[in-house]
Amino acid sequence: MSFELIVFDWDGTLMDSEARIVACLQAAFADLGLAEPTREVARDIIGLGLEEAMERLLPSGDAALRAELVVGYRRHFLVSDPTPSVLFPGALEMLDWMTGQGYRLAVATGKSRQGLDKSLAETGLGRVFHATRCADETLSKPNPRMLFELMDELGAHPDETLMVGDTEYDLQMASNAGVRSLAVSYGVHSPGRLLTHEPLACLDSLRAIQDWLAEHSG
């Protein structure tokens, strides 16, 4: 296998942000006097765009109410919630190694552009990515448009592209785009769910991704 472009999901793959996302979702519901989603329910929608996530969390609500929830979530996430989000161990080392190997790197995320830019600035990782796409500027996973746009921008073909993610939405998007995928088992969705989408491997750390590429990609 020979990969030129590696596309990463952000939350749950590069950044350990589950606790903050869940807290902000629950706070947004509480602000409007709605029953808060449980942790398990809230974490299951991580990876989707906010509008799609709210549709799943509140299927009986109208569009105006879901829009209020989106605004409330963003306010908590970007401004008021103190729950820390940190990179998973080995993220910087792995990305620097990939850069040194000549890979083109990209991000495809359910985050908003404002949210991703904030995370890239805080972590200093903006320097390593050649392109990024967010759910509020294209279509949410598992629609393949994010990957199509990234491949078009960076001049990569599907058979040269690898998607890395922690949810079945990432793997479904890859499959819909004709792109191969790697799953990581330390994020939101269980290995059992991930393996049903036939990734090339399901790995337990970022260092394991580096080792896998060194062995399998030539």
pLDDT given for residue 85 in this prediction: 86
* Catalytic choice (11, 16, 136, 166): 11
Closest CA to 4 of 103, 99, 100: 103
Tell me the mean pLDDT in the region 189-202.
97
CATH of range 18-80; options 3.30.300, 1.10.260, 1.10.1200, 1.10.150: 1.10.150
- Give the dihedral sign, CA 142/148/154/155: positive
Residue of 9, 44, 136, 166 marked active site = 9
Please compute the mean of the pLDDT values over residues 37-65 and round it to a whole number.
Answer: 92
Q: Which of 5, 47, 3 is nearest to 22 (CA)?
A: 47
**pLDDT > 90 in the chain, percent:** 89
**φ/ψ bin of 152: left (φ > 0), alpha (ψ from -120 to 50), beta (otherwise):** alpha
pLDDT of residue 60: 83
Residue 155: the pLDDT is 97
Q: Which CATH number fits domain 5-16+87-216: 1.10.8.80, 2.115.10.20, 3.40.80.10, 3.40.50.1000?
A: 3.40.50.1000
Q: Residue ranges per domain, the chain?
A: 5-16+87-216, 18-80
For the segment 70-120, what is each residue's pLDDT rounded down to a tens digit?
A: 999 999 988 877 788 899 999 999 999 999 999 999 999 999 999 899 999
What integer best gives the mean pLDDT of the chain? 94
What pTM was computed for the model? Answer: 0.94
9 is catalytic: yes
Whether the predicted pLDDT of 54 surpasses 80: yes
